[in-house]
Structure 1
Amino acid sequence: MIKPRSEDTSLALDLASTIRHDGNGGVLDELTSTDGLAAFLSRVGMPDVPATAGLLNRVVEVRAATRALFARAVEPGPASRADAHRLMPLPDAVATINAYAALAPVIPVLTWDTIPSSHLLPPFGAKPHEATLAGLARATIDLLTGPRRADLRACTAPRCVRYFIKGHGRQEFCKPSCSNRARAARHYERQLSAARED
């Protein structure tokens, strides 16, 4: 079962964020091994799904389609630097997400603590790998067709390759460290320009 997400998180963003900057100007891919997949599945609330090589390949395919769709959703803003040169074609990305979303049916379940809410569960006996892939693909569909799509952005900080949901009107970066890095890069550029003029 995929744990319910809070308002400020998204399973699709978590998946897309398995590609991130490595802190040294490069890009780190967290999904290059079954151990990386197991860590991701645990982090997003699916620790009981066996992390096999076959599932890893399919999750990476869902991620590629998700990031390709995110790149198009943020237009006319820039795509993530990690995606700009290797985007899956739009028809292929849509077909991939739709195919994976259809792998496992879901059952809507009503819960009522203080207010009514719902979440989707795979039916009893669903194959864990198919339910996982379907859940990841449906998370992408939900984000791209929901009200938060308008706030989806690619972080423009130097070296950052993440997508994020803008939390307030003037937010430009995915997190404070990216804002600091961008400010430092602008300061360095101004210093360099001033030195050239002298």
Structure 2
Amino acid sequence: MAPLAFEISATIRHDGQGGVADGLATVELTETWIRANAPLVEEVLGGPSVEEMPGGSPASSSLRSRGFDFSALVVDDGVREQLVGVRRAVRSLFARAVSPAPPSKADDGRLLDSATALRRLNEAADALGSAQLEWPDGGEPIVRWAGGATEPVELLLGAVGRSGIDFLASPDRLRLRACPAARCVKYFLQDDPRQTWCSPSCGNRERVNRHYQRKHAG
């Protein structure tokens, strides 16, 4: 599973009032999402190299990997639009993965054709360069990216793109589902062949709704 791809997909969600909310609708929301998902970005890039503060304590506020410094990332409308573009590619390919079942209701009329979505995702991931293995003495093997971009925006988009690629090329793709609940727009991974809904709350809500519909039919 590729958590970052799911996190970017989940920025499209039900607003609780019959509509759809966009977690990347503004620059402020986009910056909040980026900060909240910094650890997942770092995970894709190979993990943060922890800097030492005076006295040997880790500088937890400074997450860096291949020079990726979140404090240097200036989030503006341009960054937001680029991130929304990669999200659209991810959700378009998620919709293809669940076919012939219907995609998320939030994607109706908003999907890219497969060729465009694939190109957009691959172009984002290309920024990372090539994967290389590092295995420090006494440590665990780590995959890091070399020969690619060093700009924070390109690394961010590249991490999202790579996360989507890794997921869609994995066996987990076959477990991807779009929740059919009336008030849900989520994609989720099916843990059991009998699982229909993304969560028990969606299942309970749909059972109540169906009972109400049957009771008042005719």
TM-score range, shorter chain: 0.7 to 0.9
- Cα deviation, 1:19-74, whole Å, max 9, x if unaligned, reads 00001110000101111111111221258243222111000000111111110110
Query: 1:41-190 maps to which residues of 2 (within 5 A)?
Result: 41-45=34-38, 48=70, 49-110=73-134, 116=140, 118-121=142-145, 126-190=150-214
Q: 2:21 is paired with a residue of what secondary structure?
A: strand
Pairs aligned (count): 187
**Is the CA contact (8 Å cut-off) linking 2:128 and 2:145 kept in structure 1?**
no
- Cα deviation, 1:127-149, whole Å, max 9, x if unaligned, reads 11000001101111111111100
Structure 1 segments unaligned to the other structure (5+ residues): 1-6
C-alpha spacing 1:123/1:95, structure 2 compared with 1 (3 Å): closer
**Is the CA contact (8 Å cut-off) linking 2:129 and 2:148 kept in structure 1?**
no
Structure of greater Rg: 2
Q: Which is worse superposed, 130-139 or 182-191?
A: 182-191
Deviation at 1:161, TM superposition (A): 0.7
**Is the CA contact (8 Å cut-off) linking 1:122 and 1:131 kept in structure 2?**
no
Match of 2:3 among 2, 10, 14: 10
Q: Which is worse superposed, 45-54 or 125-134?
A: 45-54
Deviation at 1:119, TM superposition (A): 3.9
C-alpha spacing 1:180/1:135, structure 2 compared with 1 (3 Å): same
Deviation at 1:118, TM superposition (A): 3.3
Identical columns (%)? 36
In structure 1, distance between residues paired with 2:86 and 2:179: 21
State TM-score, norm by structure 2: 0.77
Q: 2:107 is paired with a residue of what secondary structure?
A: coil
Q: Which is worse superposed, 76-85 or 47-56?
A: 47-56
